[in-house]
Structure formats: C-alpha cells, structure tokens
Amino acid sequence: MSSNRFENLRPMTEGIVPIGLAEREGRIEKARRLMVEAGLDAVYLEGGSSLLYFTGVAWGRSERMTAAVVPARGLLAYVCPAFEEARLREKLLFGDDVRVWQEDESPYACVAAILRDRGIATGRIGIEETVRFFLFDGIARAAPQAALAGAEAVTVGCRAVKSPAEIALMQRATDITVAAYRAALPLLHEGMSQNEFRALAAEAHQALGARGGIDVQFGKSTAFPHGSRELTYLAAGDVVLMDGGCTVEGYHSDISRTIVFGEPTGLQRDVWALEKAAQAAAFAAAQVGAPCEAVDAAARKVITDAGFGPDYATPGLPHRTGHGIGLDVHEPQHIVRGNTTPLQPGMCFSDEPMIAIYGEFGIRLEDCIHVTGDGPRFFSQPSPSIEQPFA
C-alpha cells in the first residue's frame, strides 16, 4: 500500500488537554462519598479502564494481579508483582503505598493485608464489575471475613457522567474519526475487499495522529450488526456499512455510516430514510430526566410503526438503540428497554438504531450524544442523505 495516500493529512492532536491531577483526585473523593452511601468500606480495581479513570494508571490485564484498593476512609494502596514495582511507581500520580508479591507468593494476601491495615478486614468491599472471577475468588479466600459486593454504585455512579474535560477529549476523537472517514471514503472502488478498506482507514487515523480504524461490510453482510466473517468484494449496488472510531487520551469515538456504492434502489432509499427518522426520534427523546429506555422506545416506535419488528425481531431493530461511551467504547448507561436510569447532563451514549433485513442488507447510522442542561448534543453531525455521509 502506498504510504503517500494520506500525505495531505496532518495530526489533529495539537492542544489536547489530558485529564489533570485535580480532576482525578475529585473522582476519588466522589467515589468515597458514593461508597459511604452504598455501605461500602473500599473498592477494588484491577488493571483496566476504571483503574485508569480513578488513578491515572494505565495497566493491561494478565494472569498477574496489578490492582488498587481505594478505601472510603484512608489512603489508597496498590498491589503488583515485585518485578513490576519500579514500572508501576513511574506511573503513580498520587499515593505511594505499593504492596508487592514475588512469583511464589500470593497477591491475595497483599489485598488482605491492605484491608487489615485500613481497619476494614471485616468490612464490605466493592469489586469493580469487570474484575475477573479468579481474582474475586482469590480475594474471598484470603479475606474470608470481608463481604464482597458489586461496586457499580461507585464506578458507574462516577463514570457515567462525564466532565467537560472528558467531553472535550471525546469531541477531539470524534473530529479525528470524521476526518478519517472523509479521507478514506473516496478510495472505495469496485473489487476492493473489506480488509483493504480497513487498512486504509487505520492508515488515515494514524496520519491524523490517533490509533483507530473503520470496520466495513459490503452487501448482504451489512445485515449482521457486527458483520460477517466472510470476506467480500465491493460491487456496484452494494450497501456499504462502516463502523469506526479512535481514542484520544483513552477516550473513544464511535461513528457508523451507511451508503450505497452506485445508485441506490428504492428499497434502499426507503429503509435508509426510515433509519434516519429513528435516529432523529431517539435524539429528540434524549432529554434531561427522561429514562434511558425512553430513548430506545422512541427509535423503536418509528421502526415498528413502519411494519418492521416488533421488538427485536428482524426485519427490524435487533439490538438496543445505544450504549454508553467513554474510556470504554461500550459502557453504562446503555440505551435499552428496562434501563430506567434518568438522563443527566454529562451522560454520553451512541444513537444507533439499526434496521437489519437478513439476506438483503442492513442500514445503521450512528452518532454519539452528550446530554447538556439544555438537552442532547451530537458529537458528530448526522448523515444528511444516503449519498452524503457527512455534512
């Protein structure tokens, strides 16, 4: 592949402001208030997005525990393999209590020691919701007097509402992905494989200064919400469904566009217009105080009133209307029936009702929303028409 395809692109990373220390300290203080309200004495976080959110420590997951214990009262503490201590200390923004374990020792004993030292060995300990079972089980065995419970009241309670700094990072990620789409879309050509387009989209993101990409499906495989494993090649008249994003300082963008390569049929135009109407209905319903499920219901009603469905049946909308987004591309709060959580300013989620017609094609338009005190705002402007994916 020629490396000069995107030589006109320049990094869009100038002026990015990372999350500051004061904001992270404020997150921990809020977490502590929520712990008290939830009756928790501490929260356990392993490597991943919640550890990054609260402490600023970016750490991948492996079979070896690296974690933090954040008590409702008292200093937080970290656990890591002894040979990783120096690397972990390089990443610490606050706190210096690091408990280490050798390869033939138990990391769970380190967690139990922290609980004893903080006076909460018999307390109620919140376990972050994505912690893997072997870690949960090991802690339960090492600290049998502690009561382990879910920590969602704290983690989701903090993370679901984004700060202006977080929203600014997500906006930058969105702007970069829009630019990558604009650069890559004109390079679609007959006979192109999905893999060729994915490679181009990744290259465009890289030229713009971010790690990201755009997944793509052609023809009948567009009816599958997450695509087909079958490698296909672009032909005239194919529906083209693209789903792309990148990260900036760990925060995600997520945008989907659907076009037709060539002249759309009447059915393709009609279904595309119906999808756009459903997306608009979801946006209009995303008002402060409305339950998350009301946004899903608004989009689904447009689709079912047109004779699709009902509910999750296909042809129709086979999945929820949206997902929360932030440090994880999919995170609470989800826009789905049964989620009665009221929308608040700062909540961010995708608006992506899809119409899937198996054996023919699928149409999905996805733009993410952040809720303000005055109502919803799009991070990216919706697609104006089937021929014009971006305004």
Q: 259 pairs with which residues across the strands?
A: 240
Under DSSP, the state recorded for 186 is G
pLDDT tier for residue 349 given thresholds of 50, 70 and 90: very high
How does pLDDT run across 146-159, given as a tens digit for each residue? Answer: 999 999 999 999 99
384 lies in a domain?
no
Question: In this prediction, what percent of the chain has a pLDDT beyond 90?
Answer: 97
Cis peptide before 333 (omega within 30 of 0): yes
Please check whether residues 171 and 308 belong to one and the same domain: yes
CA distances from 194 to 96, 235, 272, 362 (A): 48, 12, 21, 16
* Residue 151 and residue 205 in one domain: no
pLDDT, mean of residues 335-356 = 98
Pair 188, 221 in one domain: yes
CATH number, residue 106 = 3.40.350.10
Among 113, 136, 159, give the residue marking a domain's end.
Answer: 159
Confidence of residue 128 (pLDDT cuts 50, 70, 90): very high
- pTM for this prediction: 0.96
Same domain, 154 and 178: no
- Residue 4's pLDDT is 73
How confident is the model over 219-243, as a mean pLDDT?
95
- Please tell me whether residues 143 and 178 are part of one structural domain: no
Q: Is residue 383 part of a domain?
A: no
Question: What's the whole-number mean pLDDT along residues 229-242?
Answer: 95
Mean pLDDT in residue range 131-153: 98
195 pLDDT above the threshold of 90: yes
Residues 201 and 323 in one domain: yes
Same domain, 270 and 170: yes
Number of domains into which the chain is organized: 2
Verify that 28 and 126 share a domain, yes or no.
yes
Element containing residue 50 per DSSP (H, E): helix 49-55
**Within a domain: 55:** yes
Q: 15 in a domain, yes or no?
A: no
Residue 163 reports pLDDT greater than 70: yes
pLDDT tens digits, 275-314: 999 999 999 999 999 999 999 999 999 999 999 999 999 9
Residue 386 within a domain: no
Mean pLDDT, to the nearest integer, of 93-112?
97
**Band (239; pLDDT cuts 50, 70, 90):** very high
State the residue range of the domain holding 221.
164-378
The answer to whether 227 and 217 are in contact (CB under 8 A) is: yes
Residue 345 lies in a domain: yes
Q: Write down which residue in 159, 190, 212 finishes a domain.
A: 159
Query: pLDDT tens-digit profile of 50-72?
Result: 999 999 999 999 999 999 999 99
Does residue 164 carry a pLDDT above 90?
Answer: yes
The CATH number of whichever domain residue 274 belongs to comes to 3.90.230.10
Residues 141 and 171 in one domain: no
Residue 2, pLDDT above cutoff 80: no
Asked whether residue 387 is assigned to any structural domain, the reply reads no
pLDDT at 207 over 90: yes
> Given CA atoms 152, 154, 160, 166 in this order, what sign does their dihedral have?
negative
Specify whether 106 is located in the same domain as 196. Answer: no
At 228 the pLDDT is: 87
Look at residue 168 and tell me if it is in a domain.
Answer: yes
pLDDT, residue 5, reads 86
pLDDT of 1 above 60: no
Per-residue pLDDT, averaged over 252-266, amounts to 98
Summary mean pLDDT of the chain: 97
Q: Is the pLDDT of residue 3 over 80?
A: no
pLDDT of 351 above 60: yes
The yes-or-no verdict on residue 254 having pLDDT over 80 is yes
Q: How confident is the model at residue 227 (pLDDT cuts 50, 70, 90)?
A: confident
Residues 130 and 198 both lie in one domain = no
- 155 and 168 fall within a common domain: no
Q: Of the candidates 159, 178, 206, which is a domain's last residue?
A: 159
